[in-house]
Amino acid sequence: MDVLAIIPARSGSKSIVHKNIRLLLGKPLMAYSIEHALACRHINRVVVSTDSELYAEIAKQYGAEAPFLRPPAISGDCSNDLELFMHALDWFENNEGFLPDICVQLRPTHPIRNPEDTDRMIEMLIADPEADSVRSLIVNRNIIPYKMWIKKDGNMIEPLLTLEGNREPYNSPRQMLPMTWFQNASVDVIRTACILKKKSLSGDRILGYEMEGEYDIDYEEDFIKVEQEMLARQIATGEITGKKICFDIDGVIAKLVPGNDYSKSGPDEKVINLVRLLYERGNGIFIYTARGTATGVDWKRTTEEQLKEWGVPYNGLYFGKPGADFFIDDRAINISEIIAKL
């Protein structure tokens, strides 16, 4: 089957200006979706639909096609995805006599994906001739839609959803309510016939494919969250090279001990293995600690002996870091997020 991936990348983002080409860890945001599509076994062509000549040139640099520019009339804030798909398919049919069997929508604002997931979604659609589309989902763990309300005139409210057999689901324990899923804006796989004949990107019979995470970027805080997630993944796999990386000791390299008696500290082997991997990859490892800051006790010799005994490589060890209940840093990454990916 011919499978066409379309990456919709208009230039008029308001929440983050030029969001689709903003650099994320050194690459334009939409480049991640292009690289993802090129890595999928079942995708034959990768096209970026954009209204910008600059975006089109960037798309080509990363291996995508950009054979046309999307008209301004379907590139505004209120333009919908169906319009850009109809435009793209019409262009291909009229200019190349080409129509794919399946279209895959990869939004450029979702840079973290697994090509195997997309390939499986395509296989799901092929295996079910009655299905119109497959949509990626995540389990909805945070918001219970049966406990959501619509505000009416004045202060009157009414429940968003009703539930057969349950007169007041909004008063029910969550364990008694159906599990729900949330579309994570990662991947949509659609039969071309559904788009052209039903004028829909979903159709009537929609299959769901469950994924692990949701990394769609709409606002600045989303960008920061996704960047931190990607950094944590790269650190965990040792992809990071040639960087300066700072580690705390207690609660990170060493396990916390009661009463801050650091002579009783023990190593956290998972973190130390990560430190070794990063050091071997040519990164500079610098260790900062607040040991003795509040008490005036000199823990330097004990600390140096411990790091040597535990086999922790480093380029610098610094004392005098202030003791605090919380540290707020725009470059901080929670070690637990990294360890979870090891």
Coil, helix or strand for 191?
A: strand
- Write down the residue that tokens 């080509």 correspond to: 60
pLDDT given at position 154:
87
- Alpha carbon 16 to its chain centroid, in Å, reads 17
pLDDT given at position 275:
95
Distances 224 to 40, 218, 238, 312 between C-alpha atoms, Å = 27, 11, 21, 30
DSSP-assigned states of every residue in 126-176: HH-TT--EEEEEEE--S--GGG-EEE-STT-EEES--BTTBS-GGGS-GGG
Terminal-residue alpha carbon distance, the chain:
37
Task: Render pLDDT for 14-38 as a digit per residue (tens, 0 to 9).
Answer: 889 999 999 999 999 999 999 999 9
In this structure, the chain runs to a length of 342
Q: Which of 187, 186, 164, 188 lies closest to 177, judged by CA? A: 164
Instruction: Give residue limits of the domains in the chain.
Output: 3-140+179-217, 143-178, 226-339
Coil, helix or strand for 311?
A: coil
Measured CA to CA, the distance from residue 318 to residue 300 in angstroms comes to 9
Q: Could you give phi then psi for residue 285, rounded to 5 degrees? A: -105, 120
pLDDT given at position 312:
98
Identify the segments of the chain with pLDDT beneath 50: none
Architecture of domain 3-140+179-217: Alpha-Beta Complex (3.90)
Neighbours of 251 (CB within 10 A): 11
Q: State pTM to two decimals.
A: 0.88
Task: Quote the radius of gyration of the chain (alpha carbons, Å).
Answer: 26
pLDDT given at position 327:
87
Per the structure block, which two tokens stand in for 237? 């796999």
Amino acid letter for position 252? V
pLDDT given at position 294:
85
Q: Could you give phi then psi for residue 58, rounded to 5 degrees? A: -65, -40
Q: Which of 117, 127, 108, 138 lies closest to 191, judged by CA? A: 127
Query: For 260, what's the count of Cα atoms within 13 Å in the CB-facing half-sphere?
Result: 13
Measured CA to CA, the distance from residue 196 to residue 177 in angstroms comes to 37
Looking at residue 102, the DSSP 8-state letter turns out to be E
Measured CA to CA, the distance from residue 69 to residue 195 in angstroms comes to 20
225, 152 contact by CB (below 8 A) = no
Measured CA to CA, the distance from residue 323 to residue 12 in angstroms comes to 45
Neighbours of 8 (CB within 10 A): 24
Task: Render pLDDT for 209-259 as a digit per residue (tens, 0 to 9).
Answer: 999 889 999 999 999 999 999 999 999 888 899 999 999 999 999 999 888
Amino acid letter for position 32? Y
Please check whether the two domains, 3-140+179-217 and 226-339, share a CATH topology: no
The CATH code for residues 226-339 is: 3.40.50.1000
- Write down the residue that tokens 């796989």 correspond to: 189
> Phi/psi zone of residue 163: left (φ > 0), alpha (ψ -120 to 50 degrees), beta?
beta
pLDDT given at position 143:
87
